[in-house]
């Protein structure tokens, strides 16, 4: 089955922009660095990579007559904010479970940024205690049961819209989109760097390139502090998505590259390397990155290019997945 055979509700502006990061490249003095900007991909509450994923899940929710989108994430979850935005756009109800995944001391951590936007979008939020993890949370399952008993028809969306039968399709389509943009621009990216959290962004890319008969070096930068879990979910979702797209060959282990050197020890906690990369991206390109996801993946890019682990003659694509609203929750360090 081809990608076009899967139902999708368009929620983005179209292809996300691709552009060179000329000043950052000059500063690093190595590979030519470009960016593909998922943070600019949609008009839905600051967009981001989760919107691209939700295009396929939303289509299934509407087709099956569901009336409420239900999902789970951390307090500063970009994903739950995106689910709330998609629900508002489609006229559906929304309930999000926000667990206390991050022990961060900033006094406004649980009130600004993504929680603030989620309230503004009209979603119902349930704040509960809980540790970071991508498994089916008890608090999430309780909401689904409650809505069922009320006679509603909830549509369950796992953390990050990732470990779901359709979770990898959004970024499989991204791979197809990128190849078309490369033809238009006359460039080919030999290395792609992106943050890896819940896994389906990187997994979708890998499966999407495989469906096109290509192999690319996709470096997923673990931001969770649990890289073995990240690698496992990326491999699982990539293989499931590849099968869904009719890829006949098996995906090789070396296609699943998860770099565990830049997660700063835990999900949602930045170190000085993360903060330094955030400042560098802002001061060379006016490109704003957050301390949870993009600051860590940008720190990886900066180090990999500076040390020539990505060769100086390479053309590298940094994939900006969004997440800027979370910056407000880290005002003590930014």
Tokens matching residue 2: 């081809």
Rounded to an integer, what distance in angstroms lies between the CA atom of residue 111 and that of residue 119? 10
Tell me, yes or no, if 139 is annotated catalytic. Answer: no
CA 216 remoteness from chain centre: 19
Q: Residues 16, 77, 162, 200: which is the catalytic one?
A: 77
Q: Where in the chain is the domain with CATH 3.40.50.1100?
A: 3-46+165-330, 66-161
Q: 145 or 132, which is more confident?
A: 145
pLDDT in tens, 26-83: 999 999 999 999 999 999 999 999 999 999 999 999 999 999 999 999 999 999 999 9
Say if residues 202 and 255 touch (Cβ distance below 8 Å).
no
Determine the average pLDDT of the residues in 98-117: 92
pTM comes to 0.96
Give the fold, CATH level 3, of 3-46+165-330.
Rossmann fold (3.40.50)
pLDDT in tens, 261-295: 999 999 999 999 999 999 999 999 999 999 999 99
Confidence of residue 140 (pLDDT cuts 50, 70, 90): confident
**206 Cβ neighbours under 8 A, 6+ residues apart:** 218, 234, 238, 242, 251, 255, 256
Rounded to an integer, what distance in angstroms lies between the CA atom of residue 310 and that of residue 177? 24
Rounded to an integer, what distance in angstroms lies between the CA atom of residue 281 and that of residue 259? 20
In CATH, 66-161 is 3.40.190.290? no
Beta strands in the chain (DSSP E): 18-20, 32-37, 68-74, 93-99, 124-128, 154-157, 191-196, 217-222, 257-259, 315-320
């Amino acid at each position: 089955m081809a990608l076009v055979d899967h139902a999708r509700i368009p929620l983005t502006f179209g292809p996300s922009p691709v552009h060179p990061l000329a000043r950052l490249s000059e500063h690093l003095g190595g590979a030519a660095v470009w960016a593909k900007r998922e943070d600019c991909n949609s008009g839905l509450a600051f967009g981001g990579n989760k919107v691209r994923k939700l295009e396929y899940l939303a289509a299934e929710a509407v087709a099956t007559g569901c009336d409420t989108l239900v999902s789970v994430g951390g307090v500063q979850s970009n994903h739950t904010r995106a689910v709330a935005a998609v629900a508002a756009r489609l006229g559906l109800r929304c309930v999000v479970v926000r667990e206390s995944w991050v022990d961060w001391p900033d006094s406004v951590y649980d009130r600004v940024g993504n929680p603030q936007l989620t309230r503004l979008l009209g979603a119902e939020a349930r704040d509960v205690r809980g540790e970071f993890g991508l498994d089916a949370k008890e608090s999430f399952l309780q909401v689904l049961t409650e809505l069922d008993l009320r006679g509603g028809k909830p549509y369950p969306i796992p953390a990050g819209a990732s470990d779901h039968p359709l979770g990898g399709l959004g970024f499989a389509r991204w791979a197809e989109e990128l190849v078309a943009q490369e033809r238009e621009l006359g460039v080919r990216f030999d290395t792609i760097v992106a943050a890896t959290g819940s896994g389906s962004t990187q997994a979708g890319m890998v499966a999407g390139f495989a469906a096109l008969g290509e192999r690319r070096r996709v470096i997923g930068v673990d931001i969770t502090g649990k890289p073995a879990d990240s690698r496992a979910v990326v491999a699982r979702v990539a293989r499931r998505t590849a099968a869904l797209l009719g890829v006949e060959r098996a995906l090789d282990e070396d296609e699943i590259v998860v770099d565990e050197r830049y997660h700063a020890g835990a999900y949602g906690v930045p170190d000085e390397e993360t903060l330094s990369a955030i400042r560098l991206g802002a001061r060379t390109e006016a490109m704003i990155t957050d301390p949870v996801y993009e600051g860590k993946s940008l720190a990886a890019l900066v180090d990999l290019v500076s040390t020539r682990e990505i060769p100086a003659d390479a053309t590298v694509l940094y994939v900006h997945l969004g997440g800027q609203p979370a910056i407000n929750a880290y005002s003590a360090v930014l």
